[in-house]
Structure 1
Amino acid sequence: MSQPAAGLSLRRQLLLWLLLPQLVLWLMGGVLAFRVALSYAEKTIDQSLTQSVRALSRQVKPLGSGLLVDFPRAAQDILEQDPTDRVFYMVSSPPGSFLLGNSKFPRPPFTIYSPENEPVLYDLVMDGKPMRVAAVELGFGDGLTPQRMQVQVAKSLAVQQRFARELVRDVLFPLLLMGAVLSFLVYAGVRRGLAPLHKLESQLADRTTASLSPIEMTQAPQEVHSLANALNQLLTTLRRSLSQEKRFLNDAAHQLRTPLAGLISQTELAMQETQPQALKQRLEKVHTGAQRSAHLVNQLLSLARTEAEVSLHPINAAALAREVAREWTPRAVAAGVDLGYEGEDTMMVPGDKLLLREALNNLIDNALRYSGRNTAVTLRTHTEGNTCLLEVEDNGPGLSANDLSRVFERFWRASEMPGGCGLGLAIVAEIAQRHRGTASAYAVMPHGLRISLSLPKTP
């Protein structure tokens, strides 16, 4: 199965999402700054043109029915001194009839008239160059012969654009330097911030199935600590699972060695027998050994299943106990044991139905196996406060005080009766632990044994 393609590293994603918006904002800032600079440059040019057209209009003074032009050469040189930023002007009277300035000055594209003699600003193209123009139209003459005069002053927009570029350069260059320094700091911060993850990766790489010790993160951000804690929980679960698997394999190998050796020995002796009766006896021993081995394997598998993590759900333990008692009744009758049930109609506990059934099966199986014929076994359910009790009690020979303390040990047997393997009650104790409960053994007077499974009640 092919591995999914790896995406961008976390470092690249962080740098991308941190630096890309910065670049976009820098470009937007540059465009905005250029537009603002153009606007300020246009206002500056408009103000200069307005002052120039008013000053020029004051140099042309009405004299009777004519005009007196008081425009000294020095003033003209001031207007035309910068060849790269020349100021073009024209005075015409009547409007459009050249009087002074540049005779090729285009006429305004619209009628200029302002009752308050305020200059009008507009754009035009002169000799293929964009220009900004301020124009004003003034009246002069007496009441009998009124006349009008038009004054136009133009300035190239190249100066405006140059001014805007210089302003943008002066503003954006420091911002670019600051952006470069900020990018370096962001890169260093991301690298330093991701250092605990690299440390975590190296520690995980050093872990093997033989060494699953917890990860130590003494100095790391809270998020990395949370990740390390989650990984430590996973390592703990994995370590417990491997330990359980190893213990299961060791137990299976140890416990199966003897019955398998006995089976091999009996089959070898059976192959040497010539008498049918002796051969039948050998085969009966082989059959008994095979049954014991099968029982041992089933118990080992049950033990391994109980050691796994379980999901608990509310179940009616009393109904389950009655059902298990009914299932074991035929075998109890065959064994000469009086099996009965006493207890609640409903008793809700958080549990796993399959595992609780396994625990009750083991308790009843042990009681029927070791209590003997003509005895009574009682499956009982009742509650004590917030605790639910599942108990199996018999009036058989019971156990001594020393044996009661070892009854839940693995592979420990108080009796040498054939058929058992010393795992039934160990499975019961493991199931109780998985259900956040306990298993206990008590002596019954005058004789007998009671195994009690204590579980919390469903809230």
Structure 2
Amino acid sequence: MNTPAPAQRGLSLRRQLLLWLLLPQLVLFLVGGALAYRIALNYAEKAIDQSLTQSVRSLARQVKPIGSGLLVDFPKAAQDIIEQDPKDRVSYMVSSPPGLFLLGNGKLPAPNNVPDIQPNTPLLYNARIDHKPMRVALLEVDYGEDKSPQRLRVQVAQSLAVQERLTTELIADMLMPLLLLGAVLSMLVYGGISRGLQPLTRLQAQLGDRHHQALSDVSPIELTQAPQEVHALAAALNQLLTTVRRSLSQEKRFLNDAAHQLRTPLAGLISQTELALGESDPAALRERLTKVLSGAKRSAHLVHQLLSLARHEVEVKLQPLDVAALAREVAREWTPRALKIGVDLGFEGADHLQVEGEPLLLREALSNLIDNALTYAGTGCEVTLSVQSRDEQVLLEVADNGPGLADEDLPHVFERFWRASALPGGCGLGLAIVAEIALRHAGQARVIGNLPHGLRVQLWLPASVVLV
């Protein structure tokens, strides 16, 4: 015996919502932090480059050419100011010709892969001095006489520690408020999800309160304040509960009807069988067995009608069909029995008439109407099955000119187990089945007297199901 695998439980709806709402927020925060760091680094680099450019121009102005020589007017106090901060060290170097040390820090390297340096145009590049990253600004100036031109190179370098410090400060100033806002937003998201799931919690509580009730007594779910989706879910559940209650009610009614109606014929069968067992006379035994057979046939007919009634009380799927052709076919099927009992069975009406219906149910409804008319109209009577279109509706009618019914009996014709005749064989369910089939087709069953005498039983299909 194979046992079904247990259902795997996934993440709760609350956790899934938190995951899909907070995870993108975290990703955006990380991406935003990386972009902010890059932007802050760029701005810090621009600030350092601007400061170095100003410094290298100022230092170049302190070197004044005198004839073929140079006068460096760089006070010791200015040099101390430049070099006083070891963490944000600023180094300088003056060389002439370029690369031949004159003044400052002789460790400042020349730029790589720059074959031609334009005079009077600052050049900015990165270098490493004592294994530390530095930003260097370089400016070359021409001096001397036309016959003997010379060039002066001035370099100013600053540690990139200041760039990192500025970047860190900018990132801290930018991301801390964003981090706080993200925390507040996460709390709001969690609270919003919790509040949004409250209708589902109430729905679960209402369903939990109903688990001890019988399905036939379960009341509809009521949600006064809930989102549209939860209302739709509650409506679907109410529809399901209504279907279950109707099914249980039909089942209960079927069992009650079957128990009530089968009790008498079964008791009669038992009684007749017991009497037959005690008979020694063949004629009397045959009479008893004939009654047993008659009771068995009546019980079989009753069971068939009960099952048919129970089957017709469920929802049916309608489809296009030619009801006129169906009615002619049913009339032909009942013609042999009509001829046998001396009843004139005829058909009249449209050649073709399209409706939306269920062929088996409509066939059984017409068969019940014809069977009822043949049984109670009497020998020598006329029974007519007609199909016609009237007031944009389809009318199926079985009329007979038999004895008919009294006016006070007409309202009871479609009631279950109601019979106006004492003739054997019937169980009072045929016309009840016709009424149920009419309801399943969104139609209506009616009965009227047939002047001067007789009965007309009608099956109306509404205009909403008519195709032509």
Same fold (TM over 0.5): yes
Structure 2 counterpart of 1:447, from 433, 448, 453: 453
Which residue of structure 1 lines up, in the alignment, with residue 405 of structure 2? 399
Contact 1:85 1:156 in 2 (8 A): yes
Which residue of structure 1 lines up, in the alignment, with residue 392 of structure 2? 386
Which residue of structure 2 lines up, in the alignment, with residue 194 of structure 1? 197
Matches within 5 A, 1:284-299: 284-299=290-305
The amino acid across from 2:154 in the alignment is V
Structure 2 counterpart of 1:22, from 18, 25, 50: 25
Residue 333 (structure 1) shift: 1.4
Structure 2 gap ranges (5+): none
Residue 206 (structure 1) shift: 2.5
Structure 2 counterpart of 1:426, from 415, 427, 432: 432
Q: Structure 1 residue 315 and structure 2 residue 312: aligned?
A: no
CA distance in 2, matches of 1:371, 1:153: 125
Matches within 5 A, 1:410-421: 410-421=416-427
Which residue of structure 1 lines up, in the alignment, with residue 179 of structure 2? 176
CA distance in 2, matches of 1:293, 1:109: 112
Deviation beyond 3 Å, 4+ runs, structure 1: 110-116
Q: Structure 1 residue 49 and structure 2 residue 49: aligned?
A: no
Q: Structure 1 residue 107 and structure 2 residue 110: aligned?
A: yes
Which residue of structure 1 lines up, in the alignment, with residue 164 of structure 2? 161
Q: Structure 1 residue 302 and structure 2 residue 305: aligned?
A: no
The amino acid across from 2:302 in the alignment is L
Which residue of structure 2 lines up, in the alignment, with residue 124 of structure 1? 127
Which residue of structure 2 lines up, in the alignment, with residue 77 of structure 1? 80
Query: Cα deviation per residue 1:182-237 (whole Å; 9 max; x = unaligned)?
Result: 10110000000010011112212223414321111111122212222222222222
CA distance in 2, matches of 1:200, 1:218: 11
Which residue of structure 2 lines up, in the alignment, with residue 408 of structure 1? 414
Distance change (3 Å), C-alpha of 1:365 and 1:3:
farther
Structure 2 counterpart of 1:39, from 10, 29, 42: 42
CA distance in 1, matches of 2:233, 2:333: 49
CA distance in 2, matches of 1:283, 1:193: 74
Residue 446 (structure 1) shift: 2.2
CA distance in 2, matches of 1:73, 1:112: 34
Residue 58 (structure 1) shift: 1.1
Contact 1:112 1:120 in 2 (8 A): no
Query: Cα deviation per residue 1:393-416 (whole Å; 9 max; x = unaligned)?
Result: 111111101111111111000011
Residue 286 (structure 1) shift: 1.0
Structure 1 counterpart of 2:259, from 253, 265, 273: 253
CA distance in 2, matches of 1:446, 1:49: 122
Larger mean CA deviation between 217-226 and 75-84 belongs to 217-226
Which residue of structure 1 lines up, in the alignment, with residue 149 of structure 2? 146
The amino acid across from 1:171 in the alignment is M
Contact 1:350 1:456 in 2 (8 A): no
Structure 2 counterpart of 1:213, from 211, 219, 223: 219
Q: May I ask how many residue pairs the two structures share in their alignment?
A: 459
Structure 2 counterpart of 1:266, from 272, 278, 297: 272
CA distance in 2, matches of 1:41, 1:112: 28
CA distance in 2, matches of 1:111, 1:435: 94
Distance change (3 Å), C-alpha of 1:388 and 1:11:
same
Residue 171 (structure 1) shift: 1.0
CA distance in 1, matches of 2:241, 2:80: 90
Query: Cα deviation per residue 1:11-37 (whole Å; 9 max; x = unaligned)?
Result: 111111111111000001100000001
Contact 1:113 1:136 in 2 (8 A): no
CA distance in 2, matches of 1:456, 1:445: 26
Contact 2:216 2:245 in 1 (8 A): no
Residue 111 (structure 1) shift: 3.9
Contact 2:119 2:142 in 1 (8 A): no
CA distance in 1, matches of 2:372, 2:238: 40
Contact 1:318 1:346 in 2 (8 A): yes
CA distance in 2, matches of 1:22, 1:31: 14
Structure 1 gap ranges (5+): none
TM-score normalised according to structure 2 size = 0.95
What secondary structure does 2:303 align onto?
helix
Query: Cα deviation per residue 1:85-127 (whole Å; 9 max; x = unaligned)?
Result: 1011111011000001111222221447554612100111222
Which residue of structure 2 lines up, in the alignment, with residue 96 of structure 1? 99
Matches within 5 A, 1:221-260: 221-260=227-266
The amino acid across from 2:316 in the alignment is V
Distance change (3 Å), C-alpha of 1:111 and 1:430:
closer
Q: Percent identity?
A: 68
